[in-house]
Amino acid sequence: MKKVSVLLAMNTPRAYDYSISDDFEVKPGSFVKVPFQNRELIGIIWDESLEDIENSKLKEVIEYYPSYKLSNTILNFIKFFSRYNYTFLGRVLKLFIPQAYLIEEIKAPVKYRINKENTDKIKITNPRKAVLKLFEDGNKILSHSAIMEKANVSYSVVKKLIEENVLSEVSSVDLEILPKLIPKKLNLNKDQLSAAKSITNSIYNKSFERFLIDGVTGSGKTEVYFEAIEEALKENKQSLILLPEISLTEALFDRIRSRFGFEPSMWHSDLPKKKRREIWQDIYHGNSKLVIGARSSLFLPFKNLGLIVIDEEHDHSYKQQEGIIYHARDMAISLASFEKIPVVMVSATPSLETVLNIKEGKYKELILPERIGNAILPQIDFIDMRDEEYIKNQWLSEKLKSEIKETLLRREQSLIFLNRRGYAPITLCKTCGHRLECPKCDSYLVEHKFNPKLVCHQCGFTIKPINSCSECDSENSLIACGPGIERITDEVLKAFPDARVATLSSDNSKDSHKILQDMRKGLIDILIGTQIISKGHHFPLLTCVGVIDADLGMANGDLRAAERTYQLLHQVSGRTGREKRPGKSFLQTYFPAHPVIKSLVEGEKEKFQEAELKTRENNNLPPYGRLASIILSDTNSFKLIEYCNQLKKSMPKSDQIIVLGPVPAPMTKVRGRTRYRFLLKAGKETNIQKYLDFWLNNLKKPSSIRLTVDIDPYYFL
């Protein structure tokens, strides 16, 4: 027997020693199953043990998996990730091995093709119609589970079609002779070709380089990185496309299928267990050459990664806020550096961090200045709401309603944007003024009418709608204040009763694929939505965009508030006029002179970026300085405050780091826990993590207190 240290995929800061048979060839990164307390857990061999412990005192490795091993590159990335984001090694490993079943042996699934000659002999029901629709091109082959998932039908529906010989099993020989889809490659313009060549050269030379494809909305940025993916495929390399939203994967999936003639692997949290295991193992063995997904796809076990693409790199959804806090864009760039491969960032409105890196020569900028084909950039204008006559419970200006009416007459589409879910953000009693609040959080309950309920968007607390005030017992005294998209939908339906209207937000995101597909097909006249509709979508008939409250994101005290608002409104406006028909975008605002609104209307992106960067530089804020947050919480506020004061007293002195706090968090109570915050502010080259080591390891923390460190925070609530 020999000794090894094993890192477990759990919340642990270090590896544990075990004994293992001499028969096994022990290599760092190899998968093992070991006993831990009263459980059996999956982990990896971290290293040979250097501890002076007798073998007889060690527990023995239960099972060794010679088929699975994380590369040395990934092991080094895990160490970096843990250190940079100030989180335990075992928690990072859990990202790579989220479930033990991923390494279970699976049999190749039986796949089926359609026998069109038999479709006329069966009774056609709606479920059967959905299955037949999947096989319209005649060449598709799918497993039983894939048919059920894609057609949304039961097991028995597919089983009966197999029994009636409408679907027949495909042998491995048949798979080889099935006709392939014909790739559809578009002709690129000179700017696209030049940008693509820079990236393909980097792939060919196997070098770590950071590129930004900075192009106006509709300039064909996706086709440029498709060229890079094609080069990676020629080199037999795998490619990863990171997306900020799951809703974007379906549209990109269809484009990839058309462009390359095969279906990419899609990785996201809604995948069923069996499908997750199939995809994970295909990626590990190098069978999946192209993967698209959200943040978690960064931690898949790529065998031969050759390219990482970060689409909409500026998007704040890349910042993970729950569990392990990290920024997927920044970690993707780090992974690319370990893999020694190029990483391509894509955006029409790059983050200021990326803009500064371009200026400092760390990233290479590839500019696409014009929309492709005959499409021209939309005209953006503001509607000064101070000039509008106030009408109770109406949120669409007369100017915007007039533009939407003209758009309907031209048989074109309109998009109305409000980044606020539900029907109304506040419900109050008109008798005593009481506002309905969450009992667990410092948050108002948001009224929802499509699915009647009052919801806390912080913790998910939900109650049924009520009629009487809990404070003064007044009957029928509760009134909804302010608009959410459901309220805007009511107003639109009253103003345009004959229009085909749809609403899309995270509350009905399961229907997003159908809604977005209907919008692309022209089956919707007016689409109303939150930020889920703001990016990456191409609607040929969309020519009018209206933003209901353009000022909404600019008054929250966040250092990135102006940048975030500019990016969001620019992206929303960019959905219109993407083909031959010219588009217009209207921003309803009470502050038309605000730099964000002026920059959008005047088309001065660079001017806005320069002004924002200057403000940040003057205040030594990111990207010129560094920040880190410490968030502490407890159900006992007195114990929490006492510990925060002790932490303040034990704080190491430093000329390089300023520590602000402790102060109550703006959202002081969440899920029944009181929250306090410290904020660390330092120069760009300061090692904040080292300072945190000196500070946080010197004082024992009560077990009831939760302490979270957020390096490079994006949210300050």
* Position with higher pLDDT, 51 vs 266: 266
Residue 9 lies in a domain: yes
What whole-number distance in Å separates Cα of residue 269 and Cα of residue 278? 14
CATH number at residue 25: 3.40.1440.60
Rounded CA gap, 561 and 554, in Å? 5
Please give the share of the chain, as a percent, with pLDDT higher than 90.
66
pLDDT (0 to 100) of residue 176:
46
297 with 281, same domain: the answer is yes
The pLDDT assigned to 73 comes to: 96
> Is residue 75 classed as helix, strand or coil in its secondary structure?
helix
Residues 648, 594 share a domain: no
Contact between 565 and 553 under an 8 Å Cβ cutoff? The reply is yes
CA dihedral of residues 193, 196, 202, 205 (deg, nearest 10): -60
| Rounded CA separation 429/331 (Å) | 47
Tell me: do 196 and 171 sit in the same domain.
no
**Residue 659, domain member (yes or no):** yes
pLDDT in tens, 358-379: 999 999 999 999 888 777 788 9
Place of tokens 């075990």: 18
Answer for the pair 539, 575: CB distance below 8 angstroms, yes or no.
yes
Distance separating alpha carbons of residues 86 and 79, to the nearest angstrom: 10
Neighbouring-strand partners of residue 69: 30
Q: Which segment, 108-117, 275-284, 305-314, is predicted with the most confidence on average?
A: 305-314
- Is the distance from CB of 28 to CB of 72 less than 8 angstroms? yes
- Would the pLDDT of 555 be above 70? no
Is residue 698 over pLDDT 60? yes
Q: Which residue has 């061999």 as its token pair?
A: 45
Instruction: Using the 3D structure, point to which of 177, 211, 230 is the last residue of a domain.
Output: 177
Asked whether residue 631 falls in the same domain as residue 595, the answer is no
Q: Which long-range contacts (CB under 8 A, 24 or more apart) does 699-706 make?
A: 699/646, 699/647, 699/650, 701/643, 702/634, 702/639, 702/643, 704/634, 704/635, 704/636, 704/639, 705/632, 705/633, 705/634, 705/639, 705/640, 705/643, 706/632, 706/633, 706/634, 706/673
Read off the pLDDT band of 57 (50, 70, 90): confident
Q: Are strands 2-8 and 39-48 parallel, antiparallel or unpaired?
A: antiparallel
Q: What is the pLDDT of residue 54?
A: 75
Q: Assess whether pLDDT exceeds 70 at residue 578.
A: yes
DSSP per residue, 647-688:
HHHTPPP-SSEEEEEEEEEEEEEETTEEEEEEEEEEETT--H
Domain identity same for 347 and 226? yes
Domain shared by 604 and 629, yes or no: no
Q: How many domains does the chain have?
A: 5
End position of a domain, from candidates 103, 123, 139: 103
> Which backbone phi and psi does 55 adopt, to 5 degrees?
-55, -35
- Is residue 256 in a domain? yes
User: 152 and 290: one domain?
Assistant: no
Query: Does 220 fall in a domain?
Result: yes
Contact (Cβ atoms closer than 8 angstroms) between residue 456 and residue 438: yes
198-249 tens-digit pLDDT: 999 999 999 999 999 999 888 899 999 999 999 999 999 999 999 998 777 7
Domain extent at residue 156: 111-177
Q: Which of 330, 349, 368 is the last residue of a domain?
A: 368
**Half-sphere exposure for 563 (CA within 13 Å, toward CB):** 25
Residue 469 lies in a domain: no
Q: Give the strand pairing for 326-327 and 584-589.
A: unpaired
User: Looking at the predicted structure, is the pLDDT value of residue 173 above 60?
Assistant: no
Tell me, yes or no, whether 330 lies in a domain: yes
Residue 556 pLDDT: 64
More confident residue, 32 or 186: 32
Same domain for 707 and 567: no
Give the DSSP H/E element, type plus range, for residue 144.
helix 144-151
Whether residues 71 and 146 fall in one domain: no
Query: Are both 510 and 578 inside the same structural domain?
Result: yes
Report the CATH number at residue 294. Answer: 3.40.50.300
DSSP conformational letter for 299: G
Segment 671-681 mean pLDDT: 96
**374 vs 29: which has the higher pLDDT:** 29
Query: Are the C-beta atoms of residues 222 and 538 closer than 8 Å to each other?
Result: no
CATH number of the domain where residue 657 is located: 3.30.70.600
> Which of 22-31, 489-498, 507-516, 537-546 shows the lowest per-residue confidence on average (mean pLDDT)?
507-516
Q: Which of 131-135, 188-192, 407-411 has the lowest mean pLDDT?
A: 131-135
716, part of any domain = no
Q: Are residues 506 and 599 located together in one domain of the fold?
A: yes
- Decide: 109 and 147 in contact? Cβ < 8 Å: no
List the beta strands (DSSP E) in 348-402.
364-368, 379-384
End-to-end CA separation in angstroms for the chain: 52
d(CA 165, CA 172): 19
pLDDT digits (tens, 9 = 90+) for 312-338: 999 999 999 988 999 999 999 999 999
| pLDDT higher than 90, residue 459 | no
Q: What is the pLDDT of residues 620-667, one digit of tens each?
A: 999 999 999 999 999 999 999 999 999 999 999 999 999 999 999 988
> Is residue 603 in some structural domain?
yes
Radius of gyration of the chain (CA): 28
Q: Cα dist. 365→153, 199, 248, 369, 571 in Å?
A: 47, 11, 24, 12, 20
Q: Is 330 exposed, middle or buried (0-12, 13-18, 19+ CB in 10 A)?
A: middle
Torsion of CA 81, 85, 87, 91, to 10 degrees: -50
Are residue 333 and residue 391 in the same domain, yes or no?
Answer: no
As a dihedral over the C-alpha atoms of residue 560, residue 561, residue 566, residue 567, rounded to 10 degrees, the angle is 60
Across the range 575-602, mean pLDDT stands at: 91
User: Which helix (H) or strand (E) covers residue 585, if one does?
Assistant: strand 584-589
Residues facing 679 on adjacent strands = 629, 660
What is the pTM (predicted TM-score) of this model? Answer: 0.87
Whole-angstrom distance, CA of residue 268 vs CA of residue 419: 24
Residue 379's pLDDT is 92
